[in-house]
């Protein structure tokens, strides 16, 4: 397998690459990888945990290699054993990013990731940007390549039926250079699906979720999945909320207050970029309970935490005889450590789907996402059953 990562130099991408290489060298075990559970024990026949090569697009620090970027993240977080990092130096130095796009990525990206190095800064039209992205990707790819978007969160773009509603309209907008209607994540999804490369969207950004790109995936016979990797607080919410439903306890209100640092936190400190993330995190409770209690979802930048995400949750609920009660929990985790293995999992399952002739949205991968496409199943327990049943039906 080969893996192309949009946002290659971010902490999640670099940690995912380091994790795969560490496992390959016997420096780490496979803890954290869903695809290594007993239920998926023969996935190795279809999608081995042995990535031949990694590549990707990036919009900063293009003069550096992946090891230099990971070392920079490591100095801020010390998020795994330094002996592992040191042992991987030679391998990771060989991996370098290609120049990507930050089209309509919002003020958070434009302000916090300076200085940027983007294709649109070269004065390229949309057609020329697509051509360059496609050239980079196809020169890297083989028949077992998967592409995953792990770039920073974009603001949402207002849906335009003429542009987003059909493949014909989308491609016409590219030819007409309608940069106001198309974002980086859409372009990344477009070049992947156009070239029959399975695409996963690990971010809340639009990615492949518009009708135009779903149509493209069906046309080219390519599987895709998303959106927004479910790694921390929302994982707990979607696992815990069913308990209240099963016990017929009425949730009156649910407050989630998230603090985080690092580049992710900087970007999300901008309201424009934050909004799509909050929507992704906030809607899951109502989807599971079947009604919408009062909710507060906050995300705030807390510089000293770096990649350590902390979430405080308060749940107010009503039980027997109308008695009101409370529950609290705190989720505290290194974001890259809980996210990185899922990037590898999604890549393996998408490659498996392609080999089994699957195309279009793979809704059965909902287990990995906060805002899964083509399904209203948000309950973690049911999502896992769905994933296992899907896998068993195909293997």
Residues of the chain with CATH 3.30.360.10: 233-333
pLDDT band at residue 210, thresholds of 50, 70 and 90? very high
pLDDT number for residue 262: 85
Q: Is the pLDDT of residue 96 over 90?
A: yes
Residues facing 315 on adjacent strands: 254, 327
For the domain made up of 2-229+337-394, give the CATH fold: Rossmann fold (3.40.50)
Q: Which two tokens stand for residue 292?
A: 């919408």
Q: What is the mean predicted confidence (pLDDT) over 30-46?
A: 96
Q: Is the pLDDT of residue 283 over 90?
A: no
Q: Which two tokens stand for residue 297?
A: 């979802």
pLDDT number for residue 263: 83
For the chain, give the mean pLDDT.
Answer: 96
- Dist. CA 167–CA 375, nearest whole Å: 22
Span 293-304, pLDDT tens digits: 999 999 999 999
Q: Is the pLDDT of residue 140 over 80?
A: yes
- Dist. CA 45–CA 364, nearest whole Å: 20
- Dist. CA 388–CA 382, nearest whole Å: 10
pLDDT band at residue 217, thresholds of 50, 70 and 90? very high
pLDDT band at residue 340, thresholds of 50, 70 and 90? very high
Residues of the chain with CATH 3.40.50.720: 2-229+337-394
Q: Which two tokens stand for residue 225?
A: 């999945």
pTM across the whole model: 0.96
Span 319-338, pLDDT tens digits: 999 999 999 999 999 999 99
Whether domain 233-333 has CATH 2.102.10.10: no
Q: Is 113 left (phi over 0), alpha (psi -120 to 50) or beta?
A: alpha
Q: In whole angstroms, how far apart are CA 74 and each of 7, 18, 79? A: 17, 11, 6
pLDDT band at residue 162, thresholds of 50, 70 and 90? very high
pLDDT number for residue 268: 84
pLDDT number for residue 315: 98
Q: Which two tokens stand for residue 199?
A: 């695409």
Q: What is the mean predicted confidence (pLDDT) over 304-312?
A: 94
Q: Is the pLDDT of residue 279 over 80?
A: no
Q: Is the pLDDT of residue 280 over 80?
A: no
Q: Which two tokens stand for residue 161?
A: 């039926």
């Amino acid at each position: 397998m080969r893996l192309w990562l949009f946002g290659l130099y971010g902490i999640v991408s670099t940690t995912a690459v380091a994790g795969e290489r560490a496992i390959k060298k016997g420096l780490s075990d496979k803890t954290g990888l869903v695809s290594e559970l007993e239920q998926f024990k023969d996935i190795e026949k279809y999608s081995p945990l042995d990535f031949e090569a990694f590549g990707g697009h990036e919009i900063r620090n293009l003069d550096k290699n992946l090891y230099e970027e990971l070392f920079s993240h490591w100095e801020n977080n010390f998020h795994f054993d330094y002996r592992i990092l040191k042992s991987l130096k030679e391998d990771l130095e060989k991996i370098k990013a290609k120049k990507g796009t930050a089209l309509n990525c919002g003020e958070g990206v434009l302000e916090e990731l300076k200085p940027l190095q983007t294709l649109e800064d070269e004065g390229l039209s949309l057609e020329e940007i697509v051509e360059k992205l496609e050239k980079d990707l196809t020169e890297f790819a083989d028949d077992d390549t998967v592409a995953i978007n792990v770039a920073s969160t974009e603001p949402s773009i207002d849906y335009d039926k003429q542009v987003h509603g059909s493949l014909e309209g989308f491609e016409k907008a590219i030819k007409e250079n309608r940069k106001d209607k198309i974002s980086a994540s859409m372009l990344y999804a477009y070049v992947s699906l156009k070239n029959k490369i399975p695409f996963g969207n690990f971010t809340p950004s639009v990615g492949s979720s518009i009708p135009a790109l779903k149509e493209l995936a069906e046309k080219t016979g390519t599987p895709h999945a998303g959106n927004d990797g479910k790694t921390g607080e929302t994982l707990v919410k979607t696992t815990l909320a069913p308990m209240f439903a099963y016990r017929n306890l009425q949730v009156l209100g649910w407050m989630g207050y998230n603090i985080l640092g690092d580049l992710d936190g900087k970007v999300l400190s901008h309201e424009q970029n934050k909004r799509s993330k909050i929507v992704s995190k906030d809607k899951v409770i109502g989807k599971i309970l079947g009604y919408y209690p009062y909710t507060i979802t906050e995300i705030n930048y807390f510089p000293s935490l770096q990649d350590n995400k902390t979430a405080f949750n308060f749940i107010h609920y009503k039980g027997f005889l109308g008695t009101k009660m409370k529950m609290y929990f705190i989720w505290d985790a290194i974001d890259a450590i809980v996210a990185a293995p899922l990037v590898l999992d999604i890549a393996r399952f998408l490659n498996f789907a392609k080999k089994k002739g699957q195309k279009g949205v793979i809704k059965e991968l909902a287990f990995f996402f906060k805002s899964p496409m083509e399904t209203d199943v948000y309950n973690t327990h049911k999502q896992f059953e769905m994933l296992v049943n899907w896998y068993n039906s195909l293997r």
